[in-house]
Amino acid sequence: MDGSSLTRPKSGTDTIIVRHPDFYFSDGSVVIIVEKTAFRVHQSVLARHSEVFKGMWDVPQPQKTDTYDGCPSVVLQDSVNDFVDVMRVLYDAFHFDKIRPDTSLSHLITFISGILRISTKYNMQQLRNKCIAIIQDKFPSSLRGCDDVLTRGIQYVPSEIVRIIPLARETTVPKVLPWAFYLCAHISVDEILSNTVLSWKDKSLCLAGKERLWELQKKETHSFLLDFKQAPTCTTGCQARVMVPRQLKLSDIESLRINPHPLEEYTDWKSLMICIKCQAMVEAQHREGREKVWQKLPSLFHLGTWEDINKDQSC
Ligand SMILES: [Zn+2]
């Protein structure tokens, strides 16, 4: 950046304003100053995406409008990095194409965070919807969607995606929270406690959720692995053969307790070596248990019901 990009505002303060190297257009019609960085952009472009920006300079001002470099100007209290991300979207038609199928979830969250924050704050509905669609593809709000992400084998690294929780709260995207909390219940207790992103309330919810998910896995979805009871119509004495409980070692149980995953679909029915009637019964229990867990999922983390969540999400 050359010296001409530095200037002092006419107010006479010693704050130095830096012109953004990519988004200070000589034919721009308005100047937006964010964290001491000036963006000279086109109001008509902003107005296409946001009623807030459309009206920002239209309403007759009771006082003289601030100007910068001969253009109407305004100072916004946002993060400059967030604002730059939105400018990239507005001025680069292919910005979202930078998301590749192999883009990591952590990078994806970083990519959309600023755009989601700014588009929410300034009511840029299309941009907001685009960001929400991108994250909801990875954070499902239906059991079918959950099955889909599990089948796709999406790599979730809970400690890297925990940022989605405060982001979703800040930008009112509650639909992603139940699955985000479900994943974060797999973070170790020590790591949750030392986490610098989550609030103490959300840390408590992760820890409590870990216990609740394990209880549901034991009692609802995978009870047949821990406390097998044969079907009333069983004629081969499956329970007496007690083959099933022996398949789980203490270390397996401990691992499940630490990383509860009641929504994991069990498919290895043949290995249980039980009769067809018992298998039909436990398959039905497992299926119904998963549906029950999914329905309860928001309430496990004090998020209300799915109906509450759908109502709260503003789009
Ligand atoms: Zn049986």
CA distance 118 to 46: 12
pLDDT at 248: 66
| Structure tokens that stand for 87 in this block | 């400018």
Residue 68 sits at φ, ψ, to 5 deg, of -145, 125
- Measured in Å, residue 227 CA sits from the centre of ligand 1 at 14
pTM: 0.87
Q: Which of 108, 106, 86, 90 is nearest to 98 (CA)?
A: 108
Determine the distance separating the centroid of ligand 1 and the alpha carbon of 291, expressed in angstroms. 24
Q: Which residues contact 67 (CB under 8 A, 6 or more apart)?
A: 31, 73
Q: What is the pLDDT of residues 105-160, one digit of tens each?
A: 999 999 999 999 999 999 999 999 999 999 999 999 999 999 999 998 888 888 88
Cα of 91 vs centre of ligand 1, distance in Å, is 65
Structure confidence at residue 15 (pLDDT): 73
- Kindly give the distance from the C-alpha atom of residue 233 to the centroid of ligand 1, in angstroms, as a whole number: 8
Biggest alpha carbon–alpha carbon distance for the chain: 92
Q: Name 32's bridge partners.
A: 39, 74
**Tokens linked to 260:** 């509860």
Q: For residue 188, is pLDDT > 70?
A: yes
How are the residues of the chain apportioned to helix, strand and coil, as percentages rounded to the nearest 5? Answer: 55, 10, 35
Cβ proximity of 29 and 45 under 8 Å? no
Gap from CA of 235 to ligand 1 centroid (Å): 6
